[in-house]
Chain A
Amino acid sequence: MIEMAPPADEPDHDVRPDLHLVADSDGALLCRIAERDLEAFEILYRRYARPVYGLALRRLNDRGRAEDATQEAFAAVWRSAATYAPARGGGARWLFTVARNTIVDHARRGGRTRLVPTAALPELAARDAGPEPAAEAGWLAFRVQAAVAELPERERLPLELAYWGGRSQSEIAQLLDLPLGTVKTRTRSALARLAVQLEQLR
């Protein structure tokens, strides 16, 4: 299928929050999960499976154990969603804390080892950092990855290619068969949208 280039008047900054983000905020989803709403659980899982898995990979350095820990983390979310108190903070922070605690417990228990090639790991890990900086780094990566996941695909693709695909804007334009100006507009729009989302995820 050929993707048509957008019109020249494509808005520079369409960063209005999507309606579903308002209706399905993390906190609202957790409240629904506390009421045993499977659909809410699936939505939250789709939104955060990658960030939680990324967190587990960083902490455990082992794919198999990271997979197990991710499953355990979401099981813990399901079990303890009723303890989430909206007045005490955002849903993302609560989920992060539950996931991190589960992963730490998993690390303490040890288990099978399946090494991950170093090149496949995200580059954030500040291996010499103490517990506090490491936790903050984990929280930052968690928020960023969750926010990136919520971007519209037309903005997410050029952004990911630019930041993690090592591609220049010209290469991205060629790859996506888009005018260079459109790639720049979409990348800038993605950054602006991320700024809004990261503020919401504090």
Chain B
Amino acid sequence: MSRRAPDLDNLIGGHLPGPERDRLTRVHEALLRAGPRPELPDSLARPPEVAVRRLPAARPARPRRRPLLAAVAAALAVAAAGGAYSLSAHPDEGPRRAVTMHGTAAAPTAHATLRIGDRDAAGNWPLTLRVRSLPPLPAGSYYSMYLTNNGHIVARCGTFKADPGATVVRLNVPYRLGEYSGWIIRRDFLDGRPGPTLLRT
């Protein structure tokens, strides 16, 4: 294959009015001068991890939100960079970003990790929640996971029940995760009453 500069007349035909032709000629020349776009190496397939890890120092606004947002953002960054972040003995699940959730005073021994998968084309984030030592559910209640902003609940991610030991729950959320500052897990009642918050990021 010979490498040759294309001829503009051949590309577009010779029937354009003057101003339009001048415009396309400028683009044509710019393309020739710019050269081809380089192929991205695998190492640049995703945005840099370091960019998000430096989040807490980036902007002074919203100081109350920063620590939680940083936790979420840093977790997202791990996967955004394609990095491995192995949390447990489940190598079959492959590299994931993850957030750790800690028990509140209402559930001091509870613990959870939330793995965030790759967002699908439609904009859904698959979440895998691995939770253990949640207090038993009273009759007529269930657990709910919510996204929060500045400590306020803003979106529900799903509901579930759990064994006394460890339970894995799979959820899927369509939200823009970067707009929230954290997660909580709460006990809710079927009649609509909220229960105590049991876990938070």
Contacts and interface: CB of A to CB of B under 8 A. Distances in A.
Interface of A: 34-42, 45, 49-51, 53-54, 57, 63, 67, 70-72, 74-75, 77-79, 81-82, 120, 122-124, 137, 140-141, 143-145, 148-149, 159-160, 162-169, 184, 187-188, 191-192, 194-195, 198
Interface stretch (B105-113, B136-144, B158-166, B176-184): B176-184
A133 B6 CA distance: 25
11 contacts: A37-B179, A39-B177, A54-B35, A67-B43, A79-B58, A82-B58, A144-B34, A166-B3, A191-B11, A191-B24, A192-B24
B35 A124 contact: yes
B111 to A, nearest CB: 25
Interface of B: 1-6, 10-13, 20, 23-24, 26-28, 30-38, 40-41, 43-44, 46-48, 50-52, 54-55, 57-59, 69, 73, 76-77, 80, 176-179
B12 A77 contact: no
Contact of A188 (B12, B30, B35, B57): B12
Given A41-B51, A166-B2, A195 B26 contact: yes
A163 B47 contact: no
Given A42-B80, A191-B12, A149 B37 contact: yes
Given A82-B59, A195-B24, A195-B26, A163 B51 contact: no
B74 to A, nearest CB: 10
Interface of chain A: mostly helix, strand, loop or mixed: helix
Nearest to A46: B47
**8 A-B pairs closest in CB distance:** A122-B35, A144-B34, A78-B51, A164-B36, A38-B178, A166-B3, A75-B51, A45-B47
A42 B27 CA distance: 28
Contact of A124 (B24, B34, B43, B73): B34
A188 B31 contact: no
Contacts of B176: 37, 39
A36 B35 contact: no
A167 to B, nearest CB: 7
Nearest to A138: B34
B27 A63 contact: no
Contacts of B28: 191
Nearest to A63: B41
B148 to A, nearest CB: 15
A49 to B, nearest CB: 6
B6 A36 contact: no
Nearest to A149: B37
Given A78-B58, A164-B35, 10 more contacts: A35-B59, A36-B73, A57-B38, A71-B48, A74-B47, A140-B33, A144-B30, A144-B34, A195-B23, A198-B27
B6 A162 contact: yes
Contacts of B37: 50-51, 54, 145, 148-149, 160
B13 A188 contact: yes
